[in-house]
Each structure stands twice: as C-alpha cells, then as structure tokens.
C-alpha cells in the first residue's frame, strides 16, 4: 500500500531532484531537498485536517483533490500565487512580475517579503477560524480535557469564534508596526473566505441529506445517506468508521469542500513560500522543493484516510488543530517580527507527536480494560459460591 499511495510522490521526488541537479548541480539538489522537508514539516497538520475533510467527499471529488488539486497546489499556490501577490503589491503586470522573478530573484524575494504582512493576516485569520471552530465545539473525545471542555461550554455562545478572531486581528495590527488598514482588510477577507466557503459547503451537504431522505421515502427530519454514490469507494478507510455518517458529498457540496481544501492548502503554503527565500532566491528551485513537499502532503492525506488513522488515533485531529492554532498565532506574530520556519515546523510536529502518543496510550489502556472484563466473564466461580 505504501508504494501505491506514495508512488507518485517518489516519482516526482526523483524527477525534481534530477531537474535540480541539471539546473544547478549538487547545490541546487540539496536546496530542493531542504525545501521539500521544510514544506512537509510545516504541513503535516494540514494533511491530518485534509484527511478528515476528504472523508466527507464523494469518490469524484476525492479524485479531483488528488489530481486537479495537486496541480493547483504545486503550480498555483507555490508558483503563480506569489507572482500574483508581487504583481498586485508592486503594481506590476503579470509579464513584469515573471520577468522580475526570473531576472532579479533577490528583488522579487524582497517584494514578496514586503507583502508578507498581508499574506500573514489573510492566512493567519483563515487558520485561526479553523482552530476556533474546532475547540469551541463539544466533541465525544477531549485530548486536553481540562482546557477543551471549558472552551466547548463557552463555545455555545453564537458566533464566538468570529468575535475572538476579529479581536485578535485588531490586537495584532495595533501591536505590530504595519499598514493597519491594509492588514485589517486582508485579515477580514481571510475570515470572510472561511465563513463563505465553510458555510456553503455545509449548506449543500445539508441539502444533500434532505434529498437522500426524500429518496428513501422517509421524513426529512431523519438523517439518511444520499443514494447517488457509495461512500469512499476510492479511498476506503481500513476498518475505520466514518464519523460524519454521511455518503460522500457530491455536486455543489463536493465542490465547496474541494474549494475549502484548496484555500486551506494556500493558507499553509503562504509562510512556506515566503520563508523559502531565506534558503534560496531562485524561483524554480523554490517551486520544485515546495512542489515535492506538497505532493507528499497529498499522499499522506490518502494514507491517513485509507488506514482509518484518525479513527484509530482519536487525539490526532485534536493535536493537528492545536498545531494550526499555534501556526495562526505565529503568522500574526510575524506581522511585526521574524519567526524562523524551523520553529513553526518543530512546534507542529511536537503537537502531532504528542497527540499520537496520547492516542496510543489510550488505546492500550482500553485494550487492557477489555481483556480484564473478558477474563472476569470467563473465570470459573469459586468453590464456596457453588456450595
């Protein structure tokens, strides 16, 4: 299964490293490898969240995410989008922005770095909304129960996540020495984008459930599976249950889940693209390295879905969202000061690793409890009791 899932990633790695070697020799090869590792370390929590969302998608939209989505991720978010940002902020035409990137990489990197506050505000607020909506919702399992349970209780206040996000945005812009108007606008757009894409996805999923219930001939007040496609025929989890209890989202619902994943990927990639210029100022080298990393994130998403990992390790999703919350905070701190990408990557991996360890210990404890109960049920009665 490893070879089947990661096959394209291994192939792209080989092609990318050979291309780097041909372009710039061993130095370019090493830089591409470093950038790929950086992207993977920064985006591991992205793969965990992707896996939970892709479980809700129909086979068609899963294939779109794994094919068209990777093209958008590699060439759109890691190559074209930075050019667009530089073009807009520096008021350059697309041709001039491309020429600047190819002919004066140092100046292109400087222009992109100047646009970093706007990028960080948009991406940071989008990620912060994901984190807040997660921790403000009451869930079956709590990882940091002493903190998550109280947050879930106060999360019953309507639109609390929006209020908190806007308050954080205003506070971050006041503290940082930035163009307040532009940064506030970018941050609000990040919140609006999250609310729009997430709400539309949920709206069409709800409509799909109603249509499925009507097709079954039962009352619309009862949940039912949509009948147009079987869930997860392309990427079935190995023995894992689907937490949503729904068939894969199709049509408009699937499209907005797909769009949600692409915006999420963009939010994760922003800091990586800007930070990559600290390693290399060559656009093609950066695109190769980050593109290889993005491919591994996609493959890791498939692996998590097929293995049912999120259902087996119940705290993994919690760890990923806490890592996302920290990443959002780091992006907002980055409005006024530099935060090394290695710090972001290590913090994310620490949350993921701790959540995995906690899940493993929980599973072992549950297994021991089951063994004790089973032993008590089959144990013979004492002789005194029989007499």
Asked if residue 309 lies in contact with residue 144, where contact means CB atoms within 8 angstroms, the answer is: no
98 within domain boundaries: yes
User: Residues of the chain with pLDDT > 90: what percent?
Assistant: 7
173 within domain boundaries: yes
Burial class (CB in 10 A: 0-12, 13-18, 19+), 70: buried
239 within domain boundaries: yes
Residue 188, pLDDT > 90, answer yes
What per-residue confidence (pLDDT) applies to 32?
Answer: 87
376 within domain boundaries: no
pLDDT tens readout for residues 47-92: 888 888 888 888 888 788 877 887 887 777 777 777 787 787 777 7
Enumerate the β-bridge partners of residue 57. Answer: 249
Q: Give how many domains the chain has, as a whole number.
A: 1
328 within domain boundaries: yes
Q: Per the structure block, which two tokens stand in for 141?
A: 């399992």
42 within domain boundaries: yes
Alpha-carbon distance 380 to 369, whole Å?
Answer: 19
184 within domain boundaries: yes
Phi, psi of 224 (to 5 degrees): -150, 155
Phi, psi of 141 (to 5 degrees): -115, 145
Query: Could you tell me where the beta strands, DSSP code E, fall in the chain?
Result: none
Residue 340, pLDDT > 80, answer no
What per-residue confidence (pLDDT) applies to 131?
Answer: 92
pLDDT tens readout for residues 228-284: 344 433 444 333 344 444 445 667 777 888 888 888 877 777 666 766 766 776 778
Domain that holds residue 361: 2-367
As a whole number, mean pLDDT of residues 294-305 equals 84
DSSP for 8-61, written as a single string: HHHHHHHHHHHHHHHHHHHHHHHHHHHHHHHHHHHHHHHHHHHHHHHTTB-HHH
Alpha-carbon distance 204 to 290, whole Å?
Answer: 33
Which of the pair, 383 or 320, is modelled with greater confidence? 320
381 within domain boundaries: no
pTM assigned to the model: 0.76
């Amino acid at each position: 299964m490893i070879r089947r899932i990661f096959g394209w990633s291994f192939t792209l790695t080989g092609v990318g490293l050979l291309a780097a070697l041909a372009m710039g020799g061993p130095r370019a090869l090493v830089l591409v490898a470093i950038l790929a590792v950086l992207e993977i370390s920064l985006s591991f929590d992205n793969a965990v969240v992707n896996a939970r969302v892709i479980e809700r998608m129909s086979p068609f939209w899963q294939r779109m995410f794994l094919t068209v989505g990777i093209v958008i991720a590699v060439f759109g978010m890691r190559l074209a989008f930075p050019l667009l940002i530089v073009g807009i902020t520096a008021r350059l035409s697309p041709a001039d922005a491309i020429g600047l990137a190819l002919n004066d990489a140092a100046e292109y990197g400087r222009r992109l770095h100047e646009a970093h506050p706007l990028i960080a505000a948009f991406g940071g607020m989008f990620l912060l909304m994901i984190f807040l909506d997660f921790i403000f919702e009451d869930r079956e399992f709590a990882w940091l129960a002493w903190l998550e349970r109280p947050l879930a209780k106060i999360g019953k206040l309507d639109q609390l996540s929006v209020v908190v996000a806007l308050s954080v945005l205003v506070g971050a812009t006041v503290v940082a020495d930035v163009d307040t108007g532009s940064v506030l606008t970018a941050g609000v757009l990040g919140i609006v984008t999250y609310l729009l894409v997430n709400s539309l996805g949920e709206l069409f999923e709800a409509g799909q459930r109603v249509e499925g219930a009507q097709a079954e001939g039962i009352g619309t007040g009862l949940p039912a599976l949509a009948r147009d496609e079987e869930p997860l025929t392309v990427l079935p989890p190995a023995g894992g249950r689907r937490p949503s209890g729904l068939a894969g989202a199709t049509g408009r619902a699937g499209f907005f889940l797909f769009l949600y994943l692409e915006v999420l990927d963009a939010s994760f990639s922003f800091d990586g693209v800007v930070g990559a210029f600290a390693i290399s100022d060559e656009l093609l080298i950066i695109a190769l390295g980050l593109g290889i990393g993005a491919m591994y994130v996609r493959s890791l998403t498939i692996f998590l879905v097929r293995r049912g990992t999120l259902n087996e390790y119940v705290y993994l999703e919690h760890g990923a969202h806490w890592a996302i919350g920290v990443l959002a905070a780091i992006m907002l701190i980055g409005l006024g000061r530099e935060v090394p990408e290695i710090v972001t990557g290590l913090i994310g991996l620490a949350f993921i690793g701790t959540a995995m360890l906690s899940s493993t210990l929980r599973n072992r404890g549950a297994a021991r409890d089951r063994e004790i109960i089973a032993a008590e049920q089959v144990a013979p009665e004492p002789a005194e009791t029989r007499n």
